Amino acid sequence: MVQDNRKIILLATGGTGGHLFPALALAETISKRGHRPIMFMDRRVSSLVKDSSIPDKYLINTKYKSTNTIIGNLNNLIDLGFSMRDAKFKIKKIKPSAVVGFGSYASASVMLAAMRLKVPTMIHEQNAVVGKVNRFLSKRVDRFCTSFKKTIMVPNGVSVYRTGMPIRDTFLNIRKKKYRAPGVTGKIRILVLGGSQGAAIFSDLMPIAMGLTHEKIRKRITIVQQCRPELIRETQERYSSYGIEAEVNHFFDNIPSLLGSSHLILARAGSSTINEVAYVGRPGVFVPYPSATDNHQVFNATQLVESGGGWLREQNEITPKLISNLITRLVSNPSVLLGAASSAKDFVKVDCKENLTELIEDLIHLKSKSHIFKKGSS
């Protein structure tokens, strides 16, 4: 009798695209290895992807709201209990061989339910600072994996597997394309990303910065910018008033190709953004979101910048003039951009998805052997 080694592997995610996209990336490799990935996510991130790109999807029922009040926290605990019960029912039905969590409150109920049911569990932490949910779960799961070389707030006694960040297959062909810095003439293509939530400060400052830029440079610049829906029209009109060719939208489903065709990236410093920009080898200027939990975006960007792969500017220091001067200096020095692009490309671990999948397979195998041993000993 031939043994069937295909396994059902459940991936729990939610909150923002920063937690979702790495889970989708890992699902690709899990499928290639002959296993069946099943996604558990909340409604907030389910709208960020087309259903056709997810083979199996279940919604996590949660009504969590960020709060500092006693009543609010009590309501969240009650919500967690109901969400755990729902997750437990679904896990019993699906019978996964392992459950992998990608952080965010939405994943907590799924991970806790899996632990209660004795299903092997693993966490992947995307940021350079361990998130609150992953911090709480880290000592309770079977394996704990990180993206960055240096990750802080890892609880004492937790063994860490540094695997890197899973990147979707659509970025692979872009990585293969050599970066070419802008020439003395011709277009200068700048991509402005604000994360899945958009970044209002870029809409406020970038058009003005372009207006302050010398005409010789300005007339060569084209902008593609991610923007909040309510600011799209205004931002587009402001670029037009300065004679800037710009495409402004809330969401782009062709981010890999946009990165590939850009000479310079201006972005927030979420882990997915940092690692995707680095993976394709493009130079970036990163402005961390100042209200990010535990200031994790600063820590994310700092590691890439220290490797020579980009530049970091704090939000409280940037002005239209600073942005204009920085962009002018960078696009006028191709060797600087080329050096940053090369360093960025070397920053990432390209075998991350394979390593993560092997860790999952190894965990399932070890737990299976342990279970057989216990049965034989009883």
All domains of the chain, ordered by start, with CATH?
A: 8-167+350-377 (3.40.50.2000), 172-347 (3.40.50.2000)
Q: Provide the mean pLDDT of the chain.
A: 89
Q: How many CB atoms lie within 10 A of CB 250?
A: 15
pLDDT at residue 15 in the model: 81
The kind and range of the H/E element at 235 are helix 232-241
* pLDDT tens-digit series, residues 249-270: 988 889 999 999 999 999 999 9
pLDDT band, very low/low/confident/very high, at 371 (cuts 50, 70, 90): low
Q: How many CB atoms lie within 10 A of CB 138?
A: 20
Taking residues 121-135, what's their average pLDDT?
96
Most confident of 243-252, 275-284, 367-376: 275-284
Higher-pLDDT residue of 45 and 141 is: 141
pLDDT for 17 beyond 90? no
Virtual CA dihedral for 260, 263, 268, 273, nearest 10 degrees? 20
Cα separation, 20 vs 26, whole angstroms: 10
pLDDT for 310 beyond 60? yes
Q: Give how far Cα 25 sits from Cα of 50, 78, 85, 114, 233, Å.
A: 14, 32, 28, 22, 33
Cα separation, 68 vs 269, whole angstroms: 26
Least confident of 58-67, 278-287, 305-314, 330-339: 58-67
List Cβ neighbours of 293 (8 Å cut-off, separation of 6 or more). Answer: 129, 131, 132
Q: What angle do CA 170, 144, 281 make, to 5 degrees?
A: 30
Taking residues 358-368, what's their average pLDDT?
91
Least confident of 12-16, 117-121, 225-229: 12-16
pLDDT for 373 beyond 60? no
Give this prediction's pTM.
0.90
pLDDT for 292 beyond 70? yes
pLDDT band, very low/low/confident/very high, at 376 (cuts 50, 70, 90): very low
172, 348 contact by CB (below 8 A): no
Question: Percentage of the chain surpassing pLDDT 70?
Answer: 88
* pLDDT tens-digit series, residues 181-231: 998 888 999 999 986 555 788 999 999 999 999 999 999 999 999 998 999
Q: Helix, strand or coil for residue 194?
A: coil
Taking residues 278-285, what's their average pLDDT?
98
Cα separation, 229 vs 367, whole angstroms: 48
pLDDT at residue 240 in the model: 94
Question: DSSP readout, 54-75?
Answer: -SSEEE---------SHHHHHH
Q: Give how far Cα 34 sits from Cα of 5, 27, 37, 357, Å.
A: 8, 11, 10, 11
pLDDT band, very low/low/confident/very high, at 64 (cuts 50, 70, 90): low
Among residues 238, 226, 233, 237, the alpha carbon closest in space to that of 262 is found at: 226
pLDDT band, very low/low/confident/very high, at 45 (cuts 50, 70, 90): confident
pLDDT at residue 2 in the model: 38
